[in-house]
Structure 1
Amino acid sequence: MYLLFFAVAGAVGGTVAYSFLGESLAALGIPNPGIATTFGLPFFRAVGWMLAALSAGSFLFAAFLISPRLPGGDHDRLHQASLSVDGHLASRTGAVAAICFGLIALLMIPLVLSDVSGTPLAQTLGLETLTVAVEQVAMAQVWLIVALIALVTGCTGLMSRAWITQPLLLLGSILMIIPLGLTGHSSSGGNHDHGTNSYLWHLVFLVLWVGGLMALLAHGRRLGPDLDIALRRYSTIALVSIIVMAVSGLVNAAIRIELTDLLTTRYGLIIVAKTIGVIILGVFGWIHRAWVIPQVQANPADRRLFRQVAIVEVLVMAAVTGIAITMGRTPPPPPRIPNLSQMATKLGYELSEKPTILNVWGMWRFDLLFGALALLLAVGYLSAVWRTRQTGHTWSSTPTAWWLAGCVTLLVTMSSGIGLNMPAVFSVHMVGHIILSLVIPIFLVMGAPLTLLMTAFAPGAPGRPNIHDWVRAFTRSRLVGVITHPVVNTLQFLVFFYVMYLFIPLYELLISKYAGQLIMNTVLLVSGCFYVWGMLGPDPIPRRRPATVRLGWLVASLPVHLLVGVYLLRLDTILGEEFYRSLLLPWELDLLADQRTAVLAWATGVVPLAVVALLLIGHWPGTVGKTTGNEEKTTTGSNAENENHTTFLGPTTDGKTPTSDHGTRTTDQP
């Protein structure tokens, strides 16, 4: 069955790309490398995307669409649960698919070299030529990174039988496509920041949508249990996916071409064909919700309608995937502004005004990644609060205010003049660095989002864990316990916070490409959230150390902060000098003076660290911030290991704490 899907995707991709071969080669100015490359490259690229989708969908299925093996239905041991037989089959499928995707990624290295040089494929298979490809061809380097991530994910998946590892494998299967999302037409030219961000949203939800359905279809064919639950959960994912893909696809197309180009250029025709395919798939989604899900719920043993609809739907998905990958080999229409400035080419947009403390708030360019993420986080949190109150529980406005402050700060920081000037001016970059890694994490962590989810959703029915149980298992997992250990947590924060400035070539590499800037900002935000969560987050973690211990590690890290500040102040080398000078900013900027000004921004990092310290002091026994008694005990042992900390939950209507009401209400909803 899978081979049929791969064949359809590859045949459509290879045929469409080959039919546009003449125009593509003429535009690129390279000779024809032969049919092995001109047909093989899009063929294997399409097959690769289907394999990536199958891997992500299978790990998604094993983690969240089907229940693991839980003797007696005991959700308290979910973090220690092993996979059921069907979960194991899905996980093994995901691992094999990831390994196959990694092998195709390795094959793409000589294919890419053959394609960009016009050399027949057979002549690019030698070790020497492959070394040249990896050293000199950017796409070959990207495919090598993809191969490494995919092979590590696949091999790890083959060795893992625990349920708790499946979300991590799902993350790995998504990470292995991210490098591809950071390259291509969307990553170059004007507005390439918007193009890249919209493309990333598009690809992530594409693999979840396509891969989830393939995993469901395989489960239905082998007559696995609980298809009705899995289908209902997947239906929600599919609905969200098609909305995100439609919006991100429209944004990406609007950046690349004019409306008049849709029917007059081959690139536009591909977009039209892809759009029609997505609309057809939307109709299939409606059929699932209107007919298939009710029939499966009414008679779980009768799966004929589901199999028939799903097989046709996956075939359409495969064809759409094949059409979509040909966009990478079809030259887009000429840019709207034919002669982009050096700044617009490197940043994706123009900066015309020197940033100051006041005028940065008047500059605005919505960030399609972090800005959209901020809005989604705010909407999701408020939805959970609404659900909490609908179920008769209470939720204080204090954590809600913290969370929304974090979302607003993220949105404003990345979409205002701060985010716009971060890639161009080192001092503004430093301001953004402090906000992303310290200020926003404090706001978000103090919003207690995990506790809110465990309050909004009741525990699942015995043997059928849901969001409540998944979150609770996450907070009890060994990996979280290791990451949030004061020693590990402090070290990871110090490494990500400082290493790029101490290792100058790394900073210059990251700042020179939009992909590097995106990775840097993401890592800073995630690292900061883990650091603050481990230090003072209201959400439970395994074996939380006493506040005195956590405060000790915080104080111990302060000298490092000061020493790096002194290092930057005395540094005569200009960080990223070549890149900053290449922007040709329309105002005078003394790079060395600006770098020393950045130390002032660095010094402001002491303020959020002081806030963390004060909040920790408020957790000491006998102080005004002592425990409210609402936090769930996550471990057993000494009082120090189980030390409670301030939470913001109000009392529930039944007098029980929201995170320990197992058995008082259950549900099998996702």
Structure 2
Amino acid sequence: MNPRALRAAGPAILIVAAALTTIAALAYGGAADPLATGDPGPFVRWGLPMAKLLVNVSAAVMAGSLVLALFALKAGDREFDGALDVSSIGAAVFTVASGAVGFLTFLDSFNPELSAGPEFGAQLGRFLTEVELGRTWLMTMIAAAVVTILTFAVRSWTATLLTAILALVSLIPMATQGHSGELASHDATVTALSLHVVGAAVWLGGLVLLVVLRPVLDARRVPDVLRRYSSIALVAFVVVALSGFARTLSAISAWEQLATPYGGILCLKVAALVLMGLLGAWYRRLLIGRIDSANAARAAKAGRAFWTLIAVELAFMGIASGAAAALARTPPPATETPYSSTPAEVLTDEPLPPELTFDRWFTTWDVDLLWAFVAAAGIVFYLAGVIRMRRRGDRWPVYRTVLWVLGMLTLFWVTSGPVNAYQDYLFSLHMLGHMLLTMGIPLLLVPGAPITLALRAIEKRDDGTRGGREWIMWAVHSPFARVVTHPLVAAGIFVGSLWVFYFTDLFRWSLYDHLGHVWMVTHFLISGFLFVMSLTGIDPLPYRMPYPGRLVTLIAVMAMHAFFGVAMMMQSGLMVAEWFGAMGRTWGPTPMEDQYIGGGVAWSIGEIPTLITAIVVAVQWSRSDERQQRRSDRHADRTDDAELEAYNARLARIAERDEAADKAAR
């Protein structure tokens, strides 16, 4: 297909395929059938899923265009500005569509009588500000409106990056809703949906941008842009596939349930995703290289085949998007218990686990999909960098690879093993996980020197665009990095976070809200990594403190950390008593005893990594002195001790002068 023809036909193919699939899936699943009681009417029954479809597609165009622009295009060029224009159009549609979904959701949930009077307006206002479902769409609409304004206004690298981050964050509120249309409070479901929504948006939005920009893109740059999008799409496909599988497990509990309407629509969506993955693998391995061929006829033929496949992929993406919109209205066959029967279930949406015995330290798992992705990606990309260096003949110390892999595996164990499974019920387990995240895991990750490896392994770009290496270099030399990586600032964040987190409502937020829990893990992992890296790391930093200053900083941190642990042990009241004191737990220590144990963990076990860091700093200091002495010795050998001989001659002259002065004085 001709690229110019595809520019006009591509979005139409996507929308038509998505709309027809949504209508057919709603009819097949019965999600748009009239309700026996409280029926909101056909306009709401059919309009709400169509509006959600428009939300999904426009959000993808908004976010995916920004991501592809940042990693494949050059700021200031016509194509980069065009990508921001496409994103702004997607954000504007996303804003309107989010408002429509919020309004239709209000009609669907409460079935009010439409009127222009103040009572209807007051009901709608209370829904948008007091009901969680309404607040979700209100926040989404506001965030989309802000992104719309920013994409019109910004054109620089940094501003576009911040806008892209906001665009991706604006997708998260939608992930707090399950496919059934009810708010999904289960942590695993929320995480799976968040990853699924973000991955699909980057994948679909980037493809739409390719179609729109192709006629104005320099033909010589097309192969590079396609390769960069293909790499992004590959990662997005893996994220979408695995997160979709995890989400399916919460809705489908048996093979026979695939025969239900929900299962049939789900199979249609899975089939579309698999076919898109196969198409992506095909054109990545075969066609992109041919487009870059020196043979003009071969390149033109490959180009026509490639853009034809893009049209087919857009159709499959439309089918998958339509199926997703229909699934949001179709009740799954595996329904959750409509009410919670125990205090633990009321608070955590999970039954109280059995007593933590010795064997359960090795057999209990509560996988957090987000951190499982982080750990897996960290290992895969690190090993890929090491392999690339070895293939070109460069060496990378084996011990660094081993420590990095161990650190990532420990991160997975902490966030998905017994610590994660029991930390909501035992404060001591929560504190153990905190100490490992902020002190233990960074001791393994920092010696892995991931920044140095990335800068050496990732190819440098020379066309003015920014890839992984260029963005890492920008981050390392940014003003923000100069501040947070200063050893004193990193130490202040490291110690201050303990007091601020546990003695404010941030701790309560991390217990009640999964987003707060994700923030907690992210913050303490990064703060610990920055602190250890500022003292012992070899990765490039704007400033390195002298070794005596590092040891003094560590001693101060150890003292403040020990004081924190003692303060926790001396607490006379239970922290977040309505949580840890209301679980109905009949095994293990009492909540107050458990809190005392947690303080002991912070005081005793928490000091071990700090002591190890101090030993590492002392060893590095000693080796630094040895290296300096060896450099001095080599310099003396090269100059035949010229400096020493000159110094001795100077001393002899001073002695002769003093002796002559003494004789003259006599």
TM (norm. structure 1) is 0.80
> CA 1:464–1:193 in structure 2 vs 1: closer, same or farther (change >3 Å)?
closer
Over 3 Å counting, the alpha-carbon distance change for 1:240 and 1:458 in structure 2 is closer
- The within-5 A match list for 1:168-247 is 168-184=162-178, 192-225=186-219, 226-247=221-242
Q: Deviations over 1:446-470 (max 9, x none)?
A: 2111111222234334546544444
One-letter code of the match for 2:476? T
Pick closer, same or farther for the CA change 1:200–1:516 going to 2, 3 Å: same
Cα deviations by residue, 1:329-361 (Å, 9 ceiling, x for unpaired):
221114488887644675465554323677523
Q: CA–CA distance in 1 between the matches of 2:167 and 2:87?
A: 8
Q: Which runs of 5+ in 2 are unaligned?
A: 1-7, 631-666
In the alignment, is the contact (CA less than 8 A) between 1:191 and 1:349 conserved in 2? Answer: no
Task: Say how many residue pairs are matched.
Answer: 613
Partner of 1:479: 480
Residue 437 of structure 1 aligns with an amino acid whose one-letter code is T
Tell me the CA shift for residue 54 of structure 1.
1.4
Distance 1:261 1:124 in 2: 50
Alignment of 1:188-587 (within 5 A): 192-225=186-219, 226-289=221-284, 292-298=287-293, 299=296, 303-335=303-335, 342=342, 343=344, 347=348, 350-355=351-356, 359-461=360-462, 463=464, 466-486=467-487, 488-494=489-495, 496-504=497-505, 506-548=506-548, 555-557=555-557, 560-587=560-587
Structure 1, residues 607-651: CA drift from partner, whole Å, max 9, x if none?
32333344344555874686999xxxxxxxxxxxxxxxxxxxxxx
Counterpart of 1:105 in structure 2 is 98
Cα shift at 1:499? 2.5
Instruction: State the AA in 2 paired with 1:289.
Output: R
Residue in 1 that maps onto 2:653: none
Q: Does 1:94 align with 2:87?
A: yes
Mapped contact 2:178–2:184 kept (Cα < 8 A): no
Partner of residue 592, structure 2: 592
Which residue is 2:41 aligned to? 34
Whose radius of gyration is greater, 1 or 2? 2
Deviation at 1:522, TM superposition (A): 2.9
Alpha-carbon shift at residue 327 of structure 1 (Å)? 1.9
Match of 2:19 in 1: 11
For structure 1, which segment, 555-564 or 385-394, has the greater mean C-alpha deviation from structure 2 after superposition?
Answer: 555-564
Structure 1 position 587, deviation (Å): 2.1
**SS of residue in 2 equivalent to 1:395:** coil
CA positional deviation for 1:592: 1.9
What TM-score, normalized by structure 2, do the two folds share?
A: 0.80
The 2-side partners of 1:625 and 1:372 are apart by: 42
Who is 1:79 aligned against?
Answer: none
Instruction: Tell me the distance in 2 between the aligned counterparts of 1:424 and 1:379.
Output: 33
Contact (CA 8 Å) 2:133, 2:183: kept in 1 or not? no
Task: Give how far 1:428 is off.
Answer: 0.5
User: Once the 2 structures are TM-superposed, how far is the Cα of residue 297 of structure 1 from its aligned partner?
Assistant: 1.6
Question: Is 1:52 aligned to residue 46 of structure 2?
Answer: no
**What residue number does 2:50 align with?**
43
Of 124, 127, 130, the match for 1:133: 127
Distance 1:582 1:138, change over 3 A: farther
Shift in Å, 1:432 = 0.6
Partners of 1:423 and 1:197 in 2: CA distance: 17
Contact 1:42-1:325 within 8 A present in 2 as well = yes
The CA deviation at 1:374 is 1.7
TM-superposition CA deviations, 1:118-175 (whole Å, max 9, x none): 2256679965334412443222222333344444445444443332454444333322
Paired AA for residue 47 in structure 2: G
Change (3 A) 1:440 1:8: farther
Contact 2:25 2:326 in 1 (8 A): yes
Of Structure 1 and Structure 2, which has the larger fraction of its residues in helix?
2
- The letter for the 2-side match of 1:502 is F
Partner Cα distance (1:434, 1:153) in 2: 38
Q: Name stretches of at least 5 consecutive residues in structure 1 with no aligned partner.
A: 69-81, 630-670
Distance in 2 separating the partners of 1:535 and 1:30: 66
Q: What code does the residue aligned with 1:109 have?
A: G
Q: How far 1:575 moved relative to its partner?
A: 2.6
Confirm or deny: 8 A CA contact 2:31 2:329 kept in the other structure.
Answer: no
SS where residue 332 of structure 2 aligns? coil
Task: Please report the RMSD computed on the Cα atoms of aligned residues, expressed in angstroms.
Answer: 3.7
